[in-house]
């Protein structure tokens, strides 16, 4: 089933992104892989609309977001449309349909969406619905609450027109069955950008929990984060992704930030709220992301020696930056008609 078909299947076709093929991706501009010495300020500061997403795969999410914005959608509509792209991709094993299950074989999804007027919707441990970000949007728009979890989140989704669909695909089931042979649980840093050991980038398999943040030409901000969580996690585990202030934070007249990597480490320090607060105090996006990473490193010491945590941020001036604990974290920036894959600087060097 194609991405378009999956988006239509949940009864919310008003938000379906355009089919993301090479034509769609390049409609918003060229995609450039940057050399390590790239100076971010040369292209990432813009007075127009900006979309920024975690990892190389974010280029496709940014393209869908800009297509929605350019067709008359709001910034929040655009962010939602971008996040739906990896959710509908069965080859993406850390988001939505095709995501790896927990250790009991159940695929559970977490997502949050937020704008700079304080509107928030989130879900966690959602089952049997492809587009967790759209369920989170419905929580925002249709309830007095900000967060629904587990069976309640699933019942809410089905009651509001989302179609029920089994999320465990044959490849994900096989990976789980293989994992059961050893039951070894050890997250691998930067697995998002490793494709069969080839070191290639830009493939549809090149993905992660997607964090996407945007700034409109009017200076408003919005963002979303969606994931199926760590592969083979304990049943009921929720990481940073759906938690406001951890996986995502947005503040009017200041900026937006999102996170990736080991969610427990981000949650311990309310990572994205910290990044935005540091920008509010006058730091650039990159400096604010670096401060949060350095704080985690000081706090956790050897416990994060092999872990990856990365942050990206946009500020009120339209500047963009990112920083990571380990080398290898990349993010996609779309501004002024050009999409660029940026290798984030890191605390542990390149």
* Catalytically active residues, by annotation: 209
Q: What is the dihedral of CA 14, 16, 22, 27, to 10 degrees?
A: 30
Q: Collect all residues with Cβ–Cβ distance below 8 Å to 150 and sequence separation of at least 6.
A: 124, 125, 126
Which element (helix H / strand E) includes 272?
Answer: helix 271-280
Q: Collect all residues with Cβ–Cβ distance below 8 Å to 86 and sequence separation of at least 6.
A: 57, 60, 61, 92, 95, 96, 207, 210, 226
Q: How far is it, in rounded angstroms, from Cα 180 to Cα 101?
A: 12
Nearest one of 255, 323, 329, 327 to 295, comparing CA atoms: 323
What is the DSSP secondary structure assignment for residue 243, as one 8-state letter?
A: S
How many helices and strands (H and E) does the chain possess? 10, 13
């Amino acid at each position: 089933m194609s991405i378009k078909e999956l988006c239509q299947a949940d009864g919310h076709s008003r938000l379906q992104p355009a089919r993301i093929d090479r034509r769609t991706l390049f409609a918003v501009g060229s995609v450039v892989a940057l050399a390590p010495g790239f100076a971010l300020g040369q292209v990432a500061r813009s007075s127009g609309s900006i979309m920024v997403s975690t990892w190389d795969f974010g280029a496709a999410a940014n393209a869908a977001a800009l297509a929605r914005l350019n067709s008359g959608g709001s910034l929040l509509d655009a962010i939602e449309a971008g996040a739906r792209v990896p959710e509908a991709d069965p080859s993406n094993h850390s988001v939505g349909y095709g995501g790896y299950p927990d250790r009991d074989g159940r695929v559970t999804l977490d997502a949050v969406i937020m704008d700079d007027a304080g509107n928030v919707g989130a879900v966690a441990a959602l089952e049997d619905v492809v587009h967790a970000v759209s369920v989170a949007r419905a929580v925002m728009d249709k309830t007095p609450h900000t967060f629904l979890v587990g069976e309640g989140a699933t019942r809410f989704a089905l009651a509001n027109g989302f179609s029920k669909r089994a999320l465990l695909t044959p490849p994900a089931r096989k990976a789980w069955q293989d994992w059961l042979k050893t039951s070894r649980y050890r997250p691998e840093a930067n697995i998002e950008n490793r494709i069969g050991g080839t070191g290639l980038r830009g493939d549809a398999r090149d993905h992660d929990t997607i964090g996407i943040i945007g700034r409109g030409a009017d200076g408003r901000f919005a963002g979303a984060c969606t994931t199926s969580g760590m592969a083979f996690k304990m049943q009921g585990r929720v990481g940073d992704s759906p938690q406001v202030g951890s996986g995502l934070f947005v503040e009017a007249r200041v900026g937006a930030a999102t996170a990736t990597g080991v969610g427990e480490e981000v949650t311990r320090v309310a990572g994205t709220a910290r990044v935005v607060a540091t920008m509010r105090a006058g730091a650039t996006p990159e400096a604010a992301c670096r401060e949060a990473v350095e704080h985690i490193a000081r706090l956790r010491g050897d416990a994060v020696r092999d872990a990856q945590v990365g942050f990206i941020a946009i500020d009120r001036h339209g500047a963009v930056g990112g920083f990571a604990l380990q080398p290898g974290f990349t993010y996609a920036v779309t501004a002024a008609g050009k999409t660029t894959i940026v290798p984030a600087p890191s605390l542990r060097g390149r």
